[in-house]
Amino acid sequence: MGFTEKGKRSEQNDIIMTNGPLNTDIQTGKTESSVSARLSGIGEYYFSKKLREIEELNKAGKRVINLGIGSPDLPPHPDVIKMLQQESAKPNTHAYQGYKGIAPLREAMAAWYRQWYGVTLDPATEVLPLMGSKEGIMHICMTYIDQGDYALIPDPGYPTYQSAVSLAGGIPLTYELTREHDWFPDFNELDQKIADLRKQHKKVKLMWVNYPHMPTGQQASLEVFEMLIRFGKTNGILICHDNPYSFILNDKPLSILSVKGALETALELNSLSKAQNMAGWRVGMMMGSKNIIENVLRFKSNMDSGMFQPIQKAAIVALSLGAEWYDHLNKTYRERRKKAIQLLIQLKCTITDKQAGLFIWAAISDRYQTGYELSDDILSKCKVFITPGGIFGKQGNGYVRVSLCSPVEQFDEAINRIGVD
C-alpha cells in the first residue's frame, strides 16, 4: 500500500519523496539528485556502452579487434605537432582565449574553404572556430530550437543529431534515406511532412543533413544541395550541413555553401578530426551568415572560455597542408578499404560502390535478421567488433558498418579469425 503524503513510502518505488530535487532511498539512506526531465528518453551513447563491454573482454584476455569506431589512428602531419610543441613551450600562451578564436585561425579556415570548396567567406563575421564540430551541433540546437519545435533528422544518421534536438527541448522528426533513393532525401516525402505539421500549426526549425553521408558513405551531389537550399528557403528552415568526411576517399570535396544563395538559409559544420587526423585535438568550425554566427556565439560564449592557443596555431598549419597530404592519407585508406571489403564479403555482406568517408557500409545476408545479430555473433565467436547499422536509425537495421581506422594487419587478423569461424 502506498501513501500520497510527501515524505512517506510510494507504492511505485522505494524512495522518500521530497520537495526538492533530491530523493532518499529508505533501505540505504542514500540521497541523490533526481535527473532533469530533458534526459528523459536520452540513453547513454551506444559506443560508450560497447567500449565498456569490449574493455571487459580485453581484461579477460580475449583481445578484441575493434573495427567499429571512426577514431583516426594515424598522427597529424609532423609540422602540426611541432607547432603545438613550440607554442606550448612559450610562457604567454596559456591564458583564456577569445570565444571566436584568434584572427589568423579564422583566416586560415576561410582560406581553406576558398581553396578546396571554392567558397568565399568573411573570416571576421562568417567563420566560428569550435571545440570540435560535435559541440556545434548542440550549440545550434540550443540557439534555434524552442520547446516543442521540430527538427528534421536523417534515418540513418549520426545519433547526436537526435540527442541534441531532444536535449534542446525540440522534437526529432525523422526522414528516411534508402538505398533505392541513393541515400538522398525524398523531397516529396519532406513536403508532405511539412504540410501535415502546418495543418497542426506546428513548425520545423532545422534540418540536419550530412554528405558525404555517415554511415552510408553516399557522396555529395551539387544537384541535391541545390534542392536542399530551395527546400530551406521555401519552408523557412535552417539547413544544417555536417561536412567532416569530404576529403576522405573523395576526389571532389563539396560544400553546400557553394550553392548560390546558400548563406541565406544554410550553415555548415566542418572538422579537422578526420582529414587532418586531429580527432582528440577538438578543432572544428562553423561557416554561416553573420547573423547565424552572432546568434550561435551568444550561446557558445556561455559554454566555454576559448580554445587553447597553441592548438589554434597548430590548426593553422594543418589547414595549410597541400594536396600531397590528402593523397598520402587516402592511399592508406584505399588499402584498408580493400581489406574491409574482403572482410565483409567473407561475412556474405553486399557493398555498394563509390562510398566516401572513413567507413564501409554493407547490407547483411539472409542469415541474420539485423545488423545487431551479425555484430554480436562475430564479437562473441571471433572477438571482432563491427558496428550494427541499427544504431543509426531503423533504416540501418539491415546493415553493418566497418571503420577504416585500423591498420591493414588488424584487418588481416580479423579476416583470419572470421575465416576460422
Same-domain check for residues 269 and 239: yes
| CATH code of the domain in which 364 resides | 3.90.1150.10
| CATH code of the domain in which 212 resides | 3.40.640.10
In a domain? residue 91: no
Q: How many CB atoms lie within 10 A of CB 370?
A: 17
For residue 166, the Cα-to-chain-centroid distance in whole angstroms is: 16
Cα separation, 99 vs 97, in Å, equals 6
Instruction: For 164-204, give the DSSP string.
Output: HHHHTT-EEEEEE--GGGTT---HHHHHHHHHHHHHTT--E
Rounded mean pLDDT, 294-323: 95
Per-residue cell: 220: 555529395
Integer distance in angstroms from the first to the last C-alpha of the chain? 55
Q: State how many domains the chain has.
A: 3
pLDDT of residue 353: 81
Give, to the nearest 10 degrees, the angle between helix 371-382 and helix 408-420: 90
Same-domain check for residues 365 and 307: no
Same-domain check for residues 113 and 256: yes
Same-domain check for residues 175 and 214: yes
DSSP label at 45? P
Q: Kindly report which listed range (17-21, 214-218, 337-341) carries the lowest average pLDDT score.
A: 17-21
Cα separation, 225 vs 205, in Å, equals 18
Per-residue cell: 319: 589547414
Cα separation, 267 vs 184, in Å, equals 19
Cα separation, 389 vs 213, in Å, equals 13
Same-domain check for residues 111 and 170: yes
Amino acid at 156: P
Phi, psi of 157, deg, nearest 5: -170, 170
The average confidence (pLDDT) of the chain is: 90
Please identify, among 321, 342, 376, the residue that sits at the C-terminal boundary of a domain: 321
Contacts 24+ apart (CB under 8 A), 102-109: 102/309, 102/312, 102/313, 104/312, 104/313, 104/316, 105/129, 105/312, 105/313, 105/315, 105/316, 108/315, 108/316, 108/319, 108/320, 109/285, 109/287, 109/319
Same-domain check for residues 235 and 270: yes
In a domain? residue 82: no
Residue 172 has pLDDT above 60, yes or no: yes
Query: Which tens digit of pLDDT belongs to each residue from 181-203?
Result: 999 999 999 999 999 999 999 98
Same-domain check for residues 350 and 388: yes
CB 355 within 8 Å of CB 338: no
Query: Which tens digit of pLDDT belongs to each residue from 1-47?
Result: 343 444 444 444 444 444 455 555 656 666 566 777 777 766 666 77
In a domain? residue 41: no
pLDDT of residue 60: 87
Rounded mean pLDDT, 297-319: 95
Same-domain check for residues 330 and 302: no
pTM, two decimal places: 0.89
Q: Kindly report which listed range (19-23, 62-66, 381-385) carries the lowest average pLDDT score.
A: 19-23
337 is in which domain, residue-wise?
Answer: 46-72+324-420
In a domain? residue 40: no
Same-domain check for residues 295 and 331: no
The better pLDDT of the pair 251, 259 is held by 259
Cα separation, 267 vs 137, in Å, equals 11
Same-domain check for residues 289 and 388: no
Residue 333 has pLDDT above 60, yes or no: yes
Per-residue cell: 208: 540536419
Same-domain check for residues 157 and 306: yes
Q: How confident is the model at residue 324 (pLDDT cuts 50, 70, 90)?
A: very high
Cα separation, 204 vs 236, in Å, equals 8
Q: Kindly report which listed range (27-31, 87-91, 217-221, 368-372) carries the lowest average pLDDT score.
A: 27-31
Q: Which helix (H) or strand (E) holds 354?
A: none
Q: What's the Rg (C-alpha) of the chain?
A: 23
Same-domain check for residues 121 and 214: yes
